Structure formats: structure tokens, C-alpha cells
Amino acid sequence: MGRVAFVGAGPGAADLVTLRGARLLGCAEVVLADALVDPALRELAPQARWIDVGKRGFRPSTSQARIHSLLLSAARSHDLVVRLKGGDPGVFGRLDEELEALAGAGIDCEVVPGISAALAAAADSRLPLTRRGRGRSVAFSTAMTRDASLRVGRHADTEVFYMAGRQLGALGRALRQAGWEPATAVSVVSRAGCADSLRSRHRVDQLAHAALLHAGRPTVVVVGAGAEPLNAAPAGARFVSIVPSPQD
């Protein structure tokens, strides 16, 4: 009986993985990898058998039951299995379900944290999620639910929505209904942590205008204090400003 290491691959570029994660990949015999993991990470585990178990919203994906079955089978026949998850394993990664499946079978495991997409989005945009005196709390939510419904509230000074790319228009309307002011700042980042990341700034009532720019790309939306622009534009920052036409 072997063991399973859940490793956070980070949100984009391969070099965002932690040193511990890289070391475990170098020892792994089997790697079960998420869809958005940088293929360059394969160079850290050339000896391992790689199995794609990725999930993508609105697309055919590997079932959770199938992932559990593969994890159990691999751990029973190999010394070390790495379950490579995008971002951080414990943030919208169904880590709880996979841990329970392993515990039920008596299989030892460990969890190595990774950089979550929200943190990468904040870093790419140079917009800190917390601000002294006016941004003391941050809430993480998912814009993608099993029934494609949005559950939006106002729980913190800054709210971060994952998996929001196809729901930007609906998200903007839901934010208004939840009590966010129309002029509230919004930052949208797609492919956070990657060389081709895109960032755009909006107001809540203009969020739908970001849909075309970020279409088909993994997208994070930051609302509130953490999306407010700083006094000076940072050197090297690349933002796309979307200005609606007068009739909008």
C-alpha cells in the first residue's frame, strides 16, 4: 500500500509550484493531473505515468467517482501517487471528497498547499486583496455551481469569484441585487499566473462588457476594496480599459 500526495500546482506557470511539490513530483510513480496544470510540470516527473483527470465547466469531464477509483487503484499498486491540482488543493478542488475516499480505504496521504488563482489574480493586477483600514476581509466564492445558478451576497470588503468567465453578465446583475453599489470597482483577470494573463477594470454595472475579452479563459473576478485602483498605475502593469458606448 502506497500513499498519495495532494500537490497544489499553482494557478498557471509551472515555476509557481512549491519546492516541496516539485520534490514529490520527482519521486512520484503516478500523477493524476487537473486540466489546467501547466504541461511543463511533466519535466519534473518524467518517470511517472501521467493520467489526465481534469474537470472543466460546461464541458465533458472526468467524473469524481472515476477519480476516486483511479486514486485508490494507483495507491494500492505504487509507493507514491501525486494528485496534482490546479491552484491550491483546498480551494474549490473537491479535496474533501478525495481525502474521505482515501481515508475510507486506509490510505495515507499528505497535502501540499499551492498558490490559489485569487492570489495570482491580485499579484498580476498589482491590486492587493486587503487594504489597511478599508479592506480587512476577503470572501472566496464560486460562480459555477452544479445547477449553473449564481449565489451572490455581500459577505466581506472584497469578494472573489472563481470560474466566472461565462457568467459575467449574470454576475453583474446578481451583485446589484445583493446590494453592491453600481459604481463598485471590479477587477477581472483571466489565466492568472500565466504569461498571457489579461486584466481589465470595470464597475459592477458594467461587468458584462468584460465577457468578450475574457471569453473561453479561466477567469477570476474581484469585487470591492481589493479591486479599487491604487493612486498610481504600477510600472509594467497591462490593463485593458473597456469603456461602454453612450447608449449603454
The C-alpha cell at 245 is 458606448
| Cβ-proximal residues to 38 (8 Å cutoff; 6+ apart), any chain | 9, 12, 13, 14
**Could you report how far apart the first and last alpha carbons of the chain are, in Å?**
62
* Identified catalytic residue from 38, 124, 163, 205: 163
> Which helix (H) or strand (E) segment is 109 a member of?
strand 108-112
Q: Rounded to the nearest 10 degrees, how much is the dihedral formed by the CA atoms of 154, 96, 21, 108?
A: 160
* Identified catalytic residue from 1, 55, 96, 147: 55
The C-alpha cell at 199 is 486584466
Across 132-239, the runs of DSSP E, i.e. the strands, are: 138-142, 158-162, 185-190, 198-203, 219-224
Judge whether 1 counts as a catalytic residue. no
* Identified catalytic residue from 34, 38, 88, 124: 34
Q: What's 65's DSSP letter? A: H
Judge whether 248 counts as a catalytic residue. no
Task: Tell me the three state secondary structure of residue 122.
Answer: helix
Judge whether 144 counts as a catalytic residue. no
Q: Annotated active-site positions, please?
A: 34, 55, 163
